[in-house]
A and B are shown apart, each in its own frame.
Chain A
């Protein structure tokens, strides 16, 4: 398909790998963070890291929307799902995220009416089909997904759907990046910027990274050639002594973002003072809740929730993985106590989670190395 096939061309990939090899200085170690879980998935799926010189290391960032949801938030969702007359809807990966006493999938097995949806619009459709039931949508995701939730809430209000509400757990990408850059644990040389978040927010919100922290950022698409090209562009900036935000993904990312999406988000959401991130703790102004104008559609106001903070399991090192401090395979329970079938930590749940991506694809290459 157009816009896909041309970005998977093996010959161009090999040429880009050669270019990258010519750009690195021998003896220097380059540590680049791919912010978005979608990039992590593509890197392992297509073996992009196998094409890189040994001194170019990719570090996986916090941009997997499932991985950053804390256990207490899952517990709140399960509490609502168990209410009499409620149909609880959420995206597929969210079903398997462990709470303190099981996942939504296990709550469904125990009798709660929990349904997977592909989009918030599907949840609204379920509400219209079940006017005698309360339908709650568990909204997760970064700025890529938040406009879809916002449009659905506007549509619900316009169509007078009274039995629909939203448990909003949307998060924003810039505050955790700033928190990571302030972390003394981490030394990075540059960032592969999140392509689909940038489709909505544009490139401008990332300007603080070169301005305040002196690191290059290249916003990239998700095909293997996109990622190789972005790595080459970061290395070129480092070679030239430049430090700026560049956009490799111009075919969908305008520098200013999608202004209509930003408008609808500003109307429907407002920033929470604090939001808890799995492994990263509470980060100021990093989560969204429904604005006053849409408060009547807020499931957390319509139903009482425990709202209890739950510490991560002791064995789980998702926090260190999300901060790029350790590699997935360095976690004590990786592939043994924690697998995609029975995840302990969120990074093993979503295919975009660094642990699951590595488990599904990268571990085979590593096994070959070990042999």
Chain B
């Protein structure tokens, strides 16, 4: 349901933004969308694919390497769809003339989908085969230069060392994805329309070749990468982070009834996702857009994405490792878990409203009613996300016979 909601929001935003645009603007919009795709595929694969929750069952079935590869590629399918559907709508969503410039629109769409597909395949191959290197870093058998730099300079990212290769991979995949889009845009801007296909084709071919080479031993890649992520993110060997956990008293604004569960949930969420940093970066982006004077329609889409993404993060708390069903149900009722997760989501209500208030104070485009409306939207989304996640987890649990 959350997925459907996000797909609906993105599709609506695509239709809204592309309405009335000429083919050239649509092509530019598709390349911008491919940039968003590069960003998504630079971050999403390890979160979507690893550790695989079905690994024990897959071992019982003992699927062949190629079948494991197909299985994992399919798991990335919904993300590809999330980017492909809005792309189709950006290309063809033209109520004034759906059949006008059909050829030009189709070529632009093809190029956009090529860029999205190439970025997806490149990052899939890269992340799916990262297990051995990540484990070597985690156990101090590789990446000594990084450890030495951290020791000498006292600086480094606040991640378990084994996740540093994944961080580098994120940067690398994003850089490659952006380079390919920029090269495509440069070729198109200089009238080299045939050459504009080359960067996407090259990346797709290169990623395809790597995938083909790793195909016969994909069982090793799959089990190794899954084993590594199971080690570093769960399975009783969770690495501690250096972030200070939220103190109980800091949640004074939560009703007493739900405060203990909210406290435990927020601590778990903070250890899995740097949500505060993501929210801060998102609002920096908002201020930048407002300073640049982008259209209110764009800001509406942007805020919808930020708020939806933030509340959707409570799905992390629905994973079996964070919410063992019998334990959760023994602690509280389903209704109480909805209340708990609503307040987990509302943790960022204050910063959101504060950021919007700054936009109102330092600009002239928006007023206080705008802030109030978005506060109401956030409240509604918080309740909705909490309800969806809880119904899918504690709500679907049936006590053993």
Partners in one complex: no
